[in-house]
């Protein structure tokens, strides 16, 4: 699978424009073969015919009432479910009971090892279809910024005179982009739905808030290649899911910080569509009408070339560190929770860490969806930091670090945790232990500064008032 979003590939080919076909009015500098370098010029009737027939083609591909945004999510959902096929069977009552029992046991084991209470209000067993349905709202947040950037391609590459003539039909061109994105998204989600084990398996809070979800069918397939009993693996994964839910449920800023960092990164993506323009320059527009597969071929020849800005790099660093801290904390508390209760817990932790670090199909799918490799490099370092903090400072101070984003360690702290641990031991978290107390302290300080300033302004006036009585002290009162 490509590591670049929505069917674009990273090519370094020497761009050589194809000469235009003068008989069809296509020129070397005019994408989609509109206009010409010869004497034919721009033919409005040809554009109108092409757009009308393309509109009919895409309307037949989509169902009435579909999405009109940058991505056709109705199409994505249908294609994802088609990729899963008809082999998806409902979760049995026995599997639902096993998931509920494993989650209940995991919560009991987690209670003594963290100050964060249970974050899930319900525990569910999902099929792959359920995962697609329940996580799609979050995928919309993650994919829309990229789609909005790319969707402008369909109109930006038209000649100026073509844009003016086609203004009333720009909506259809937007639909064309939405269908192309929906197709790629559906394929990626269909593959990812077969692989994920829980709702937080890739480190992001994809599911609804307060819902812990496990995938029994995927867990059974995952367990088949391991030596541990499936029941123990289920409890271990339930503990990981419950730990994630505690963190996302009781650290109110965390969900927005994680998803916001992804959105900030995606929103800053810049694209170079010159290769698409070059490929389209020699293509007769009527070819797209007679052979729609040429459109997919055209897209596959395009180039997606992200140009990282300083803002993007900052968002990427922030996201990578935050995901490493989340994974490291979850690994630490789950290890403490299962302890000697699950003899294979250490091997399971290593298996999941390697599964994440090597960038399996789920990792590649995420890169395809939003153009971002979701692979925190410092999970081991983060786990070491949380472990040392637990040993040296205790559970309460360790979990108190999550009280405010400014208290979290940064990337350099993961490399050399001693200084950060010393700051926590020295009371580095006390200022933020109670956000309301912190706010009251700030207000109190601001009020004191205002009173001091007012006192300084009134001082000359007070002196005058004090002088006046002394001037009149010698005056005899009226008899």
For residues 81 and 191, the answer to whether their CB atoms sit within 8 Å is no
**Residue 151: band (very low, low, confident or very high) from pLDDT cuts 50, 70, 90:** low
Taking 50 as the threshold, does the pLDDT of residue 478 lie above it? no
pLDDT tens column, 329-344: 999 999 999 988 998 8
Report d(CA 240, CA 256) in Å as an integer.
20
Report d(CA 53, CA 17) in Å as an integer.
27
- Residue 124: beta bridge partners? 213
Q: What number is the average pLDDT over the span 428-451?
A: 60
Residue 15's pLDDT is 40
Percent with pLDDT over 90 in the chain: 35
Residue 64's pLDDT is 46
For residues 75 and 444, the model is more confident at 75
Residue 166's pLDDT is 59
**Residue 45: band (very low, low, confident or very high) from pLDDT cuts 50, 70, 90:** low
Report d(CA 277, CA 27) in Å as an integer.
11
Element (DSSP H or E) covering residue 214: strand 211-214
Give Cα separations from 262 to 72, 316, 320 (angstroms): 20, 8, 10
pTM recorded for the entire structure: 0.70
């Amino acid at each position: 699978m490509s590591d670049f979003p929505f069917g674009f590939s990273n090519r370094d080919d020497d761009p050589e424009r194809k000469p235009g076909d003068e008989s069809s009015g296509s020129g070397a500098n005019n994408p989609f073969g509109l206009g010409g370098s010869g004497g034919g010029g721009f033919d409005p009737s040809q554009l109108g015919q092409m757009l009308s027939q393309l509109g009919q083609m895409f309307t037949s591909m989509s169902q009435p009432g579909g999405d009109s945004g940058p991505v056709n999510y109705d199409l994505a959902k249908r294609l994802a479910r088609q990729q899963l096929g008809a082999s998806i069977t409902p979760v049995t009552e026995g599997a639902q009971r096993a998931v509920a029992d494993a989650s209940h046991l995991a919560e009991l084991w987690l209670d003594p090892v963290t100050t964060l209470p249970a974050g899930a209000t319900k525990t569910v067993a999902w099929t792959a279809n359920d995962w697609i349905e329940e996580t799609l709202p979050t995928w919309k947040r993650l994919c829309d910024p990229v789609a909005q950037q790319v969707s402008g391609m369909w109109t930006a590459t038209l000649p100026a005179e073509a844009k003016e003539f086609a203004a009333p039909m720009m909506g259809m061109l937007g639909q064309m982009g939405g269908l192309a994105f929906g197709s790629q998204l559906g394929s990626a989600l269909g593959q990812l739905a077969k692989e994920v084990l829980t709702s937080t398996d890739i480190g992001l809070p994809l599911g609804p808030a307060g819902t812990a979800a496990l995938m029994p069918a995927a867990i059974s397939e995952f367990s088949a290649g391991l030596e541990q009993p499936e029941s123990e693996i289920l409890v271990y994964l339930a503990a990981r899911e419950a730990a994630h839910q505690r963190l996302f449920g009781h650290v109110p800023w965390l969900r927005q910080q994680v998803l916001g960092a992804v959105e900030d990164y995606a929103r800053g993506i810049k694209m170079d569509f010159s290769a698409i323009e070059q490929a389209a320059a020699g293509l007769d527009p009527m070819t797209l009408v007679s052979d729609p597969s040429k459109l997919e071929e055209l897209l596959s020849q395009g180039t997606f070339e992200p140009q990282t800005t300083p803002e993007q790099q900052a968002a990427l660093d922030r996201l990578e560190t935050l995901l490493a801290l989340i994974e490291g904390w979850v690994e630490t508390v789950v290890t403490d929770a299962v302890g000697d209760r699950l003899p294979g817990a250490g091997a399971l932790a290593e298996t999941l860490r390697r599964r994440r670090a090597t960038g399996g199909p789920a990792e590649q799918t995420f890169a395809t969806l939003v153009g971002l490799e979701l692979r925190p490099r410092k999970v081991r370092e983060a786990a070491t930091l949380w472990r040392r903090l637990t040993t040296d400072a205790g559970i309460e101070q360790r979990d108190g670090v999550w009280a405010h984003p400014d208290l979290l360690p940064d990337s350099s702290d993961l490399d050399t945790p001693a200084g950060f641990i010393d700051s926590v031991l020295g009371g580095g978290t006390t200022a933020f232990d109670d956000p309301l107390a912190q706010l009251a302290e700030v207000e109190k300080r601001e009020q004191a500064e205002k009173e001091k300033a007012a006192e300084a302004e009134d001082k000359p006036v007070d002196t005058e008032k004090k002088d006046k009585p002394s001037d009149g002290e010698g005056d005899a009162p009226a008899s």
